[in-house]
Amino acid sequence: MKKKIIAIIPARGCSKGIPRKNIKIFAGKPLVVHSIEQALNTSQIDAVYVSTDDAEIAKISKNAGAEIINRPKEISGDIATTESVIAHALSVLNEKPDIIILLQPTSPLRPENSIKDGIEKFLKRNYDSLLSISPTHRFFWKIKNGQINAEYDFLNRPRRQDIKEKNINYVENGSLYIFSRKHFEKTGNRLGGKIGYLIFSEEYSYEIDTFSDFEFLEILAKKLNFGDK
């Protein structure tokens, strides 16, 4: 029996770092539109929803082909969690999905077919949740009780190109999350249970939170020919 798969894109109107960030023009289009179009171009997805508290974002998103979930103000502020947005979306949908794809518009750069590949992997391996990650070649330190400690052997510092696969660190890039409704309703979280992953290369690891992020990602988007296909 075919599972019903939907995409949810959270896009509130207010943003501290960049005013009106979700509809600021990025690579020729309002930022949120990139995630909408990527979801609409993924054949396994049955419906694409934008959850927003903002009339202008709703209009732009609807014109791009998304359906709109009107988000209450109480879960649209700075302290609102993404999980609260997902829970609200599920509470107002008449036809409940089996699988939810969460796409954050602030991570617009996704490898071609990555949403499709993620869904296929999620279904094939029967995961409860899946996220996209990217390798990082940075060396990490931790501070505890005023003491700093390395999380690598700095006495035998490896060259970045010589780091062995088993020693590579990965970051949660915020671009793609997939999870079952059953798992979310049980745990209240998009992650957990049997967790799968999809690796995006390092250039796809960046999120837009500040003006400098925005400017950097626009340069990177041109390098990747993003939006030209």
Mean pLDDT of the 212-217 span:
93
Structure confidence at residue 182 (pLDDT): 97
Residue 157 annotated as catalytic:
yes
Top CATH class of 5-133+171-223 equals alpha beta
- Tens-place pLDDT, residues 18-64: 888 999 999 999 999 999 999 999 999 999 999 999 999 999 999 99
Query: Pick the residue with more confidence: 80 or 221?
Result: 221
- The fraction of the chain above a pLDDT of 90, given in percent, is 76
The length of the chain is 229
Q: Which residue among 12, 71, 138, 157 is the active-site one?
A: 157
- Tens-place pLDDT, residues 125-175: 999 999 999 998 888 899 999 999 988 888 887 777 777 777 788 999 999
Neighbours of 132 (CB within 10 A): 25
Name the residue ranges covered by the structural domains of the chain. 5-133+171-223
- Tens-place pLDDT, residues 176-208: 999 999 999 999 999 999 999 999 999 999 999
Structure confidence at residue 6 (pLDDT): 98
54-63 long-range Cβ contacts below 8 angstroms, 24+ apart = 54/11, 54/12, 54/13, 54/14, 54/22, 56/13, 56/23, 57/11, 57/12, 57/13, 57/22, 57/23, 57/32, 60/23, 60/30, 60/32, 60/33, 61/9, 61/11, 61/32, 61/33, 61/36
Mean pLDDT of the 103-124 span:
96
Q: How far apart are CA 94 and CA 225, in angstroms?
A: 39
Structure confidence at residue 1 (pLDDT): 75
Structure confidence at residue 162 (pLDDT): 76
Helices 55-63 and 31-40 pack at an angle, to 10 degrees, of 40
Structure confidence at residue 228 (pLDDT): 58
Structure confidence at residue 76 (pLDDT): 85
Any idea which residue has 């993924």 for tokens? Answer: 42
Cβ pair 181, 122 in contact under 8 A: no
Single pTM value for the model: 0.90
